[in-house]
Amino acid sequence: MPTSTGLDGFIRATSALAAQHPLTPNGTRRFILAFGEQMAYIRVQDARNPWRFLRQMEGNPPTRWGTEGFKWGLVDDGNPARHYAAFVFVGFWLPGWMALLVLWLWEFAGFVRYGLRWSQADTRSGYVGLWHGRLVRRQGQTILPSLIARDLAESGQGWSRLSQNGEKAVRNEKRET
């Protein structure tokens, strides 16, 4: 477990990882590969073994951050950064329609696997990740930490798939205790 946890730790680790790669198209691609592996356990080199590849993606990545500081409307388990990071990865590499298809297929598979329980928080997190992946592809990895702070933080501005430019906030749902 990293020494710094929660959203702040996730942002710090993302910033440090972004700084390790030059702000070039090739540097950004290398960043996304490293980001996907560290934060979501997406190891492209293991894609030749589909079962292992899929098991890794549903398991715990090398780094786990917890839920502290994350917008509750985007949290459905103990490591919301994992799901978000996976869809940043998908949004970076795939065209928009294909990325959406992957999101919905993944969510439907989870719905079936987890006893017909739909996770609206995962779907929201996936949409935010897809959007951020597209922005990183266009503008480079150095924008990702500020996007995370803006759209994933409990106190952040937020994002909505209903808004093309990301200005409309995701409904901020508090969990009842």
- Mapping DSSP onto H, E and C, the string for 110-144 reads HHHHCCCCCCHHHHHHHHHHHHHHHHHHHHCHHHH
- Answer whether residue 95 shows pLDDT above 90: yes
Confidence of residue 157 (pLDDT cuts 50, 70, 90): low
Residue 24 pLDDT exceeds 50: yes
21: three-class secondary structure by DSSP: coil
Number of H helices, E strands in the chain: 7, 0
For residue 175, what pLDDT is reported? 42
- Reported pTM: 0.81
Residue ranges of domains in the chain = 6-152
Give the span between the Cα atoms of 177 and 129, in whole angstroms: 28
